[in-house]
Structure 1
Amino acid sequence: MSQIIYKIAPEALWCEAEKNGRFTGAPIDIADGFIHFSTAAQVRETAAKHFAGQTGLLLVAIDGEKLGNALKYEVSRGGALFPHLYAPLDLDAVLWVKPLPPG
């Protein structure tokens, strides 16, 4: 089974991660102690709920299998299991990065 997960990130924050070779999280991730991700089925709702009206966003696809035991699926919104990474994201796990169009 493919374990592709997604992160919505502001472009400036992602550019910083590319310079550093790893993504340590957005402010909400740092506050919560893990990096929030979404599955393919969850990413549209996540974008609408947490990023509505924002521009300059990127959609980042990650190979979850490369994240090992630091990736955990935990109950969140509406009882759904969301992927959470309890470590910095090594950019070797990134499959692609694309602009996320508003709306």
Structure 2
Amino acid sequence: MSVTLAAPGAEGRAVASVRNWPVDPADDSPGSRFDGSATWDDDVVGGELSVRLSFAPGGLWDERPSRAQYLVVGGSESEPVLLVREDPDSCGDPELRRAG
């Protein structure tokens, strides 16, 4: 699972591309993931700085998340981490770290 966040362009939209992304973060069954794009912006949810991913609806056979998904910003200024908040009963949230 990966996400690439691009800075806002001239039209003001910030675009993200995702690979092997869950349609529903609580469902990790095969076939419940996709590659695609979204728009993103920062938000504060429950007192935590987050990145909100908003996906355009897919076609009949092209599932996409129906609601925005949130990644919590963690780590440090020099080594930021995005935490994927999934099932609160699971053994920890997946972490997305800066590549390169």
TM-score in terms of structure 1 length: 0.27
Q: Whose radius of gyration is greater, 1 or 2?
A: 2
Q: Which has the higher contact order (CA 8 A, sep 6+)?
A: 1
TM-score in terms of structure 2 length: 0.28
Whichever structure has more strand as a proportion of its residues is 2
